[in-house]
Amino acid sequence: MKRLTYSLTATLALGLGAAAPAWADGVLNIYNWGNYTPPDMLEKFTAETGITVNLDGYDSNETMLAKVQEGNTGYDIVVPGDYMIAIMIEQGLLAMVEPNKMENFHNVDPKWVDVWWDPGRSYSVPYQWGTTGFTVDTAIYSGDINTLALLFDPPPELQGRINMLNDMNDVINAGLRYLGYGRCNSNPDELRQVAELLQNSKQYWRTMDYSTIEKLTSGDVDLSQTWNGAAMRAREQRPTLQYAYPVEGFTGWMDNVAVLADAPNMENAKIFINFIMDPENAAMISNFARYANGITGSEAFMDEAMLSAPEIVMPADAPTPDFVRPCPQETVDLYNRIWTQLKQ
């Protein structure tokens, strides 16, 4: 999911003079989601280590995967979502850097250690985690927002004022939930109904775009499918926005920091992995991106607003987030067919 607000295409180089004795040198090349990496955290890393950081951005897990599969990217660090970590491990694209043996690993919340995508954490560490749902301007629509019906059968005041994520899995999974069907679905009849639902609902959607904060804060749309942290950042500029917890369910996800198998700066990458498991550094990421991070003790360094934000602290009666595993290729092929027709 995870968790784009705009695509970062320029390279950011942070080559600051070290504020503390440098114990490393050289560079570190990071490939992360756009608008997802706090500059002050990178400045601190450079000041403490002497390592210059170069940052490039991508707009989806699939974009990142395609780039890495080409080989010789020059990147050291990537930040894949949970299911993508599993795919990249299987394809031999990630280095087994054994974060679980690093100095700061004891800070990782135990519930995020034996995860299905990297049991025991031999390849990756938590970056940010959250949910994918939608947020709506309650000054425009004052009814119950906790239903996916607002995406697929919206009231008149929201019709033509909706942004959907330009993401095949997030859109199709929302449709499956709305119809009461399971994920990784290969049932032809059920997928036909999903395809019909999406095609019919498309008339109500203004855009399909990852730039959810910009869409909402500009007033271009009044409802957007989005991630909870992005929803919080949008609400800080448009206070009448409210994040929904639809009764039909919603996706949970975790983005993870990992090292590419062909990383040219392997040791510097390991230093960075250990660095972000420090609670203060993890909090810097959360304070910027507005998501929880999976590092115990980080709450002491987080903005007060993060500790009570309705987008971050789920209501007690909200459904349990659905962490969707990778689908079989035959299912992916069926989804691709639905998605291609929808985007025409």
Per-residue pLDDT, 259: 98
Q: What DSSP assignment string belongs to 50-78?
A: --EEEEEEESSHHHHHHHHHH------EE
Strands 205-208 and 162-164 turn out to be parallel
Per-residue pLDDT, 326: 87
Of the candidates 286, 291, 330, the one whose C-alpha atom is nearest the C-alpha of residue 188 is: 330
pLDDT, tens digit, for every residue of 285-335? 999 999 999 999 999 999 999 999 999 999 999 999 999 898 999 999 999
pTM, entire model: 0.88
Per-residue pLDDT, 134: 98
Confidence of residue 2 (pLDDT cuts 50, 70, 90): very low
Does residue 261 carry a pLDDT above 70? yes
Q: Please provide the size of the chain in residues.
A: 344
- 19 or 68, higher pLDDT: 68
Of the candidates 337, 183, 310, 187, the one whose C-alpha atom is nearest the C-alpha of residue 248 is: 183
Confidence of residue 5 (pLDDT cuts 50, 70, 90): very low
pLDDT, tens digit, for every residue of 210-226? 999 999 999 999 999 99
- 13 or 295, higher pLDDT: 295
Does residue 209 carry a pLDDT above 90? yes
Does residue 64 carry a pLDDT above 80? yes
Q: Show the domains of the chain with their CATH numbers.
A: 12-129+252-308 (3.40.190.10), 132-251+317-343 (3.40.190.10)
Does residue 41 carry a pLDDT above 80? yes
The token pair that represents 198 in the structure block = 């999406």
Instruction: List, in sequence order, the alpha helices (H) in the chain.
Output: 39-49, 61-70, 82-90, 149-152, 168-179, 188-201, 212-217, 228-235, 266-276, 279-289, 304-308, 329-343
Per-residue pLDDT, 25: 75
Per-residue pLDDT, 21: 33
Q: What percentage of the chain carries pLDDT values higher than 70?
A: 93
Q: What percentage of the chain carries pLDDT values higher than 90?
A: 91
pLDDT, tens digit, for every residue of 247-259? 999 999 999 999 9
Task: Give CA–CA dist 332/326, Å, rounded.
Answer: 9
> Which residues face 207 on adjacent strands?
163
